Every structure is written in C-alpha cells, then in structure tokens.
Structure 1
Amino acid sequence: MEMADLNVLDRLETVKRLDRFDMLGKLKEAPRYIPDALTRLSQIELKAYGLKYDSVVIGGLGGSAIGGDVLRDWLSSEIDVPIVVNRGYGLPAFVGERTLLVAVSYSGNTFETLNQFDEALKRRCAVYAVTSGGELEKKCLSYDVPLLKVPAGLPPRIALPYLFASLAYVMWLEDLITGLTELRKASQAMEKLDGRIGFHVPSESNPCKRLALSLKGKVPVILGLDRFSSVARRFKTQLNENCKVQARYELIPELCHNEVESFKPTGLTQTSMDSESAYLLMRSKVESEVESTAFETLKETLKRMGIKDVYEIWGVGGVLESILTTIYTVDYLTYYMAILREVDPTPVEIIEAFKASFKKRLPGKP
C-alpha cells in the first residue's frame, strides 16, 4: 500500500467535508457515555418491582435493540434468568406476569416498541422504558411506568453506551446482578483503545485505518461466535447504516455446518458476482479452547480454499470489555470505511423514508 493511499484517512478537511453531523466527535466521546449514564441514573428515583422473574425481555429495534444483545451476551453465563431480545411487532406467548420487560426506543416513537410496551402492560409484566423522549415517554408518564431517560440528539446507534448502561442499571435495580463495576472497566478499556484507533492516530500506525483501506472494494463476510453474536450483528448493521453497503454475518459453531461449504475466493452476493470477499473473524481473549480451535480451523480452511483476505478483530479484557471494545473497533472501522466510500455516515434516508411510507400504509391511517 502506497503512502499516498495511507494518508487518505488522515485528512481532516476530507472528514469535515463528508461528516457533516460530526459522527467522529460523537465516536470519540462514546466511552464517556457509560459513566455519564451511570451518574445520571444515580440521580433519579426509581423503585424496583422486586419480583422473582422467569424471563427478561428487551423490546426494541435497530440501534435501540443492540444494547439488549450486549446485555444478553454479557450475562447469559452469569444469571439463571434467560434474556430475550424481541424485535417483533408483538410479544411471544411466554411473556407474562413473571417477565421483566424493558422497552427501548431512543426516539420514543418506534412503532414496534410502542406496540410491545402496550401489550406488556396488558399482560401485567414488570415494565421499564429507556428513551430520550417521544411517545414512549408520554406513555410512561400516563401509566406511571419507571422511565430511564437518556440524552437526546444522537443517532440511536451512537447512543449504544447510554442505552446499554440503562439496561444494566435495571438489572442491578432488580437484583439480577450485584454491581456495575464491569461497565466502568469496559468504559476505561474503550477510552484506552481510542488512543490506538482514533482519528488522531496516523494511518501508518493505526490498525483500524489500515484495515479499512484493506477492505476497500471488498464484500465483508463476518464470522463470529454465537455467544457473542452482538458483536457480529453490530458489525453488519454498522456496515449497513454507516457505509450504506450490504453485509452478512455467520456464527460459530453453526457456520461450521453449512457456511464453510460456500467458501471461495469470489463472493456471490446480491450486489456483485465478482467482487472479492473479505472474511473478518471476530475474536476474543476469553474464547474457550473449543472456540479457539474452531477459529484456527476456519483460518486453515480459508487458506486451503485460496482465500487471502482474512482478517482478525480482537476484543480485550473480560467478557464485557471484550464485547464493547470489539464493537468500538467496529464502529471506528465502519466510520473510516464510510469516509473511503465518500459518504456521510450519519444520515439514514432510506430507513426514514421506509418508516414514513410504512406509517401511511398502516390500517386506519388516512
């Protein structure tokens, strides 16, 4: 790679021209959103329901739901109550009086989440809500539902630290976890990581910028762990929203029973039949021996198929630190990829147009 190519992502004038809504500034601040959220939450009065729960359901869509995925992946091996992230129009049949349901909608106006909220009240669930305002806040005030309010003015996907911290706080309030120390450690790990991959670090010594340059023109295929599926999903959705490109993810161990059969140097995708695929392995320092063996076998298989574009992205620290540092890396990576594609990463115009059209078509609407 020539030095001229390396310098593309170091040009502040290019970033300012493309990044009209300063996503870069928000990305840099993201690690501080967690302690800020915990400080804000400690200053409001919330009374726990104090029940014995059979299930925890996080209701949300898009960027508002990913915090639930992180919560589930973090706690699935720590608590004996299953955590389900519900992205549907309604609620599953098992949801009832012994369910703790947290409705998460950053805007407060997500159609599906409002439906879930209403249904949860009818089923007499223990209900909380996380939002920056909108219709969801109004409903909470009307029905006296505990509300965890987060700052407005961010793209929902950038508000992940606020949304996740709020969910963790509910779990602590309901005595499902013993403390929130791990959140602060994860925040510190993210801030330290910014010192390695942030915009201020030149491409020559910035592994995230270099990877973005290596991925230019490639079709991303994300391979992650089932128990850390939040990381792979986040990568895919950030490619969709930040870079405006299609992407897919597959999970170990399931992919070892089907996806591996399709490995080949050129990826057959909906957008291109001859673009080269780049395989991105989402690794963690807390992998089990079996999981590490699966990854190493995948690397060997890809090499045997003649596939050269194979990259690893590693999280650091314990489970929560690993999840959040990997996600933070992915957030920066997709930002840099968006700049290379000459697109503003913040606007999601097609999503907004779809929502408006969908709302007009709903039964009973004029």
Structure 2
Amino acid sequence: MMDEDRIRDIDEANMLKDITSMPDHIREAAEISKKVRLEGPFKSIFSVGMGGSGIAGELLGDLVDRVPVFLCRDYELPKFINKDSLIILNSYSGNTEETLACAKAALKTKANVLVITSGGRLLEMAKKHTWAFVNIPSGLRPRASLGYQLFSILCVLSNSGVVNLSTDIGKAVEALEKGSFKDKAIALAEKMKGRIPLIYSSPQYSSVAVRWKAQLNENAKIHAFANIIPEMNHNEIMGFTKLLAEHYVVFIRDEQDNKRIIERVRITKKIITNCGVDSTELVLKGSSKLSKMITAVHVGDLVSYYLALEYGVDPSVNHLIDEIKRELTK
C-alpha cells in the first residue's frame, strides 16, 4: 500500500473519513429522526431516489418483509399508488430532478409522504406541504451519506410500527465498530486491480451487490457488474466461455442462504475457476440481517476506495456525472 502523503494527494477530500464515519452517521440519524412518526398502516412502500440516494431504497427492500417495497428511479410514479401507500422521497441534495418530478406527482396522490434530504427544493416542498421529513446533515457526497439516509428511514419506520429494528440498529453500529475490515479490503482491491469486478449474491442480498457495483463505478471509476444467484446460472454463466477481458468475481453469501443457492455458489465457483477466473467468497457474519448487510456494504465501500488509490484516481470526484448535469441545464 502507498504512503500517507501519496494517499492525501489522491484523496484530497478525505473520502476515507466519510466512509469510516458511518457508525457516527447512524447514531446521528437515530437522534434526528426519533420524533418523526407516520400514520399507518401501509400496504405498500415506494422508495424514490437516484444514485447514492437510491441505494437506501434497495437496501430497505431487502430488509422489510412485512410490506412490499417498490423502487422508483424515474420521473414518474407508478399508477397503482393509493391512499394506503407510503412514498419515500430521498434526495441528499434535495435538487435531484427525477426525485423532484416524483415529488410533484406525489401531490396528486392520496399517499403518505416521507422526505429524507439535506436541503434544497425538496425540503422546501416538504415544509410547504406538511410532509414528514428528516433533515440530514449536508456536506457529504450522496453515496457517503448512506448511514444517514438508510437509518433515518429505518428509524422513522420503526417509530411508526412498520418495522421492528430498534435493537438491530444498535447491533449494526457495534458490528461496524468492532469489525476489522481494512486489511481485507486492501487485499481484495489489489486482487481486483486491472480486472473487471463481477459481484454475485443471493436474492436476499442483491442490494449489497448493487451497492458494491455502484461504489466501484463512482469511487474507482471503472466498470463493474452485479447479478444474483440463481439467475446468473441461467444466462450470465455462459459469458465465461469466451472472456473478452480479465475478470474478478466476488461471491457475497450467507450461511443461512437457501441450501440450493449455497450449492450453486460452490458449483459456479468451480466452473469459473476452470475458466481461469479468480474469485473471493465474502461470507457474511453478524447477529442480524441488518448487521450482515451493513458490514458487507462497508467492506465494499472500502474496497472501492482502496482500488481508487491503486488507480491513482480521486474517489470523491465524479466529473462525468457532473458533466451530464451541466449539459441538462443548458
């Protein structure tokens, strides 16, 4: 690993501090959202958000099993939203145009609305229309604010009786603080260097695989791809027949996954090894599903960060995303 001076030269905005501050972000999220409650019950939840704000909804969908969670990554809301629905409008900046378009559409529904934001026009709308909201701290890259976004949502849903995760939240913080992740992340980043990462998980952790993929995209500035097992066994596995580039596979799995999925992981790993592709298994540990998910997310965040350093790119800068936003304003 490179020396500290070189790291500071690359990571000018100190993204590492933002990543490793997640336990503090979670604690603060619990504090600022403790008085926010919603009037349920809800028969459906629609999570609206893009990019670093959208991933909170993905993770929420894998955590909540009492109510179906639908993801909205568009300018329009689904037509089947009704008075028994909860719409979660999540935009870290408060100015994401797709989320603002859905916010305007929400006014035409009878659904309940919860806003998670650090400010901007979305916060103004929440106050104007008396929507429930959590005003999280500003100053971070959206993807580095996941602790605030996800746990603000979880705390509000817990306050409102939609989920029962109050003890799990404390365990998740403890798992992050007691875990030793740095060396594992550095070693995995070194193995990934020069290769295209492929992230595979079981369906119950698909959001974790998506987070890994997105962090590798944004922090390390490389292509990466995510899929689930068993689905990839029915199509993507054939791509290992004719490899057009070097790949590195990460299997994210839980010992409590379906036994047939565990067996499929074993077989898939054997096949790709025979095809000349290296891989790593990340076996999830923790006392709750939330703890397992958030520690796996944290490892992925660190891997993407150290891979950015390996490539000599600033993990905080997203020049191409910013270029698209500038072009759209013309």
User: What is the rounded CA distance, in whole Å, between the counterparts of 1:85 and 1:187 in structure 2?
Assistant: 26
Identify the residue that residue 50 of structure 2 maps to in structure 1. 61
In the other structure, the counterpart of 1:25 is 17
- 5 Å matches for 1:1-366? 7-8=1-2, 11-42=3-34, 45-49=35-39, 51-76=40-65, 79=66, 81-193=67-179, 196-198=180-182, 206-264=183-241, 267-268=243-244, 275-305=245-275, 307-317=276-286, 318-360=288-330
Amino acid corresponding to residue 312 of structure 1 in structure 2: E
RMSD: 1.5
Shift of residue 157, structure 1, vs aligned partner: 0.5
Quote how far apart the aligned CAs of 1:177 are.
Answer: 1.4
Q: Deviations over 1:137-158 (max 9, x none)?
A: 1111111111111110011101
Q: 3-state SS of the aligned residue for 2:102?
A: helix
Q: Structure 1, residues 106-158: CA drift from partner, whole Å, max 9, x if none?
A: 00000011111111121111011000000001111111111111110011101
Flag the 1:179–1:337 CA change in 2: closer, same or farther, 3 A. closer
The structural deviation recorded for 1:179 is 4.1
TM-score for the superposition, normalised by structure 2: 0.96
SS at match of 2:138: coil
Q: CA deviation at 1:47?
A: 4.4
Q: Which amino acid aligns with 1:246?
A: H
Corresponding residue for residue 202 of structure 1: none
| Contact 1:219–1:267 (Cα < 8 Å) also in 2 | no
User: How many equivalent residue pairs?
Assistant: 329
Q: Which residue of 2 aligns with 1:272?
A: none
Cα separation, 1, equivalents of 2:290 and 2:173 = 10
What letter is aligned with 2:155?
Y
Q: Could you list the runs of 5+ residues in structure 1 that have no partner in the other structure?
A: 1-6, 199-205, 269-274, 361-366
Question: Which deviates more from structure 2 when the two are superposed, residues 283-292 or residues 96-105?
Answer: 283-292
Kept after mapping to 2: 8 A contact 1:243/1:343: yes
Are residues 179 and 240 of structure 1, via their aligned partners in 2, closer, same or farther at CA, if it must alter by over 3 Å? closer
What percentage of residue pairs aligned between the two structures are identical? Answer: 31
CA contact (8 A) 1:34 1:184 kept: no
Distance 2:76 2:95 in 1: 15
- Rg larger in structure: 1
Q: Residues of 1 paired with 2:73 and 2:109: CA distance?
A: 18
Q: CA shift at 1:178, angstroms?
A: 2.8
- Point out where structure 2 has 5 or more consecutive residues left out of the alignment: none
Q: Which amino acid aligns with 2:238?
A: E
- Between the aligned partners of 1:162 and 1:129, the Cα distance in structure 2 is 13
CA contact (8 A) 1:68 1:167 kept: no
CA–CA distance in structure 1, aligned partners of residues 326 and 78 of structure 2: 26
Question: After TM superposition, what 4+ stretches of structure 1 lie above 3 angstroms from structure 2?
Answer: none
CA contact (8 A) 1:73 1:230 kept: yes
Match of 1:3 in 2: none
For the residue of structure 1 that corresponds to 2:149, the secondary structure is: helix
Provide, for residues 206-260 of structure 1, a one-character-per-residue CA deviation record: whole Å limited to 9, x for no partner: 2211111111111111112222111111111111100111111111111111111
Contact preservation (8 Å) 2:33, 2:156: no
Contact kept in structure 1, 2:93 and 2:119, CA below 8 Å: yes
CA deviation vs aligned residue, 1:159-195 (integer Å, no higher than 9, x gap): 00110011112212331113411111111111222xx
After superposition, give the CA deviation of every residue in 1:57-88 in whole Å (9 maximum; x if it has no partner). 11110000111111110123xx1x20112111
Structure 1 residues 283-292 or 113-122, which shifts more? Answer: 283-292
- Give the drift of 1:350: 1.0
